[in-house]
Amino acid sequence: MAVYFGTDGIRGVANNSLTHDIAFKCGNALTIVKENPKVVICKDTRISGDVILSAMSVGIMCGGGKVVNCGILPTAGLAYITKLYNADFGVVISASHNPFEYNGIKIFSSEGIKLTEEQEEYIENLFNKINLKTGREIGSLDCDNNAEEIYLNHLLGTVKSDLKGLRVVLDCACGASYKVAPAVFKKLNCTVIEKHTDIINGTINDNCGSLYPETLINEVLSNKADIGFAFDGDSDRVIACDEKGNLVDGDKLIYVLAKHMQKQGRLKGNTVVGTSHTNMGIEKSLNNNGIKLLRADIGDKYVRELMDIKSCVLGGEQSGHIIISDIGTTGDGILSALQVCSVLKESGKSISELNDCFVYPQVNININVKDKFVVINNEHLQNIVEESREELGKDGRVMVRASGTEPKIRVMAECKDKKMAKDIADKIAAIVKDISDGKYLSE
């Protein structure tokens, strides 16, 4: 089992649980997997980005690899560049939606797709087998100043019509989308109200972006915008806000896109992929439109894996990771936002009209814990969860899982009765806190 790799690469507090030594070993391991690899690499706007990127690059070069540094670039942009450049690997230095003190390492295959768990574990097992070249066999580094423009042109190419007339708010989270997102929407003739594009202080995701939608709602309403989008730090996820100030999460965006793609004849098998977190109401709304939902484990790489197995072209998560595989290889917040705007333009309808699905009341609680593995494996907690599932029956769901990127336990409860969902989620959250504090320890 991998120690460093979680649900979305390696993640940790920079210079604490994620050190330059780990970054070096990870980079060097790639040169054992593939001799003299070509590796494209980028970062988001975190202050620690240069440290982790440099250490990773040194590890690659020491093992004879060639590094192409693309600078600040959204994760999906790096995935696109990896495939376009025929690189052996793509690496993104980012902790995505996590607070700015965190950082992370995401690795992509030559096809611009995130590595599987098995591939990540294989790489991790090579961390202590250092590969050091000498003389002319030592690798090199090039800086690429064209990657952002190439990615921007790719985004433009996914939109078939002018978006003139749309007023759009963009919250860029002081992150990797700070330049390219406003630029592409402006090139498509939208009126753009841009927020949180200041990257000077490195305070990415600090009370802004997809996890803090209050600013987005206020800006949409005050500017009488047609729609607003909030990205996370590396722009691989997006949430929206409709013209009335209502949030439109990833589940609802997938519903809107699925119906439109079905009409276009693009929705293979009339099937989309969600996750175990996808709202039951979304599933029923899709079914009412003749669309089937398949559920993958939480994590966009698991969504992508199931999409490949079932030959689906649309999938994603409630958190806003959306993959449209006939125009992108991984979750892409900017691309997804552009496609939603295309639906608005082509349909002549507002986002609130298009989002006519119904959702079950869903309560989500995140609890900080001392040891998430001790908590999630606790027998008392498992018994309480099973009792709660029996109480809800077929018209509700309970899910308790350990975060793959933070020391947290995530609790979700949903059913038709909002109070009942809240009561069950609160009960389980209280048990989680007690276990973390030393109560109900399994023998």
- Catalytic residue positions, numbered: 96
Q: Can you count the helices (H) and strands (E) in the chain?
A: 15, 19
> Which three-class secondary structure state does DSSP give residue 382?
helix
Q: What is the CA radius of gyration of the chain?
A: 22
> Which three-class secondary structure state does DSSP give residue 358?
coil
Taking each helix axis from N to C terminus, what angle separates 250-264 and 333-347, rounded to the nearest 10 degrees? Answer: 50
DSSP state of 15: T
**Contact present, 424 and 388 (Cβ < 8 Å):** yes
d(CA 56, CA 43): 11
d(CA 192, CA 186): 7
**Contact present, 246 and 227 (Cβ < 8 Å):** no
> Which three-class secondary structure state does DSSP give residue 224?
coil
| Nearest-10 Cα torsion for 419, 395, 367, 437 | 90
DSSP state of 16: T
d(CA 235, CA 199): 14
Among 185, 151, 154, CA closest to 74: 151
Among 169, 177, 223, 225, CA closest to 197: 177
* Token couple for 111: 């096809």
Q: CA dist 178 to 70, 80, 173, 235, Å?
A: 15, 18, 8, 9
Half-sphere exposure of 434 (CA within 13 A, CB side): 14
| Nearest-10 Cα torsion for 273, 277, 282, 288 | 60
What lies within 8 Å, CB to CB, of 251 at 6+ separation is 274, 278, 279, 282, 318, 359
* Amino acid in the structure at residue 94: S
* Residue 290: Cβ-neighbour burial (10 angstroms; 0-12, 13-18, 19+): exposed
d(CA 11, CA 297): 19
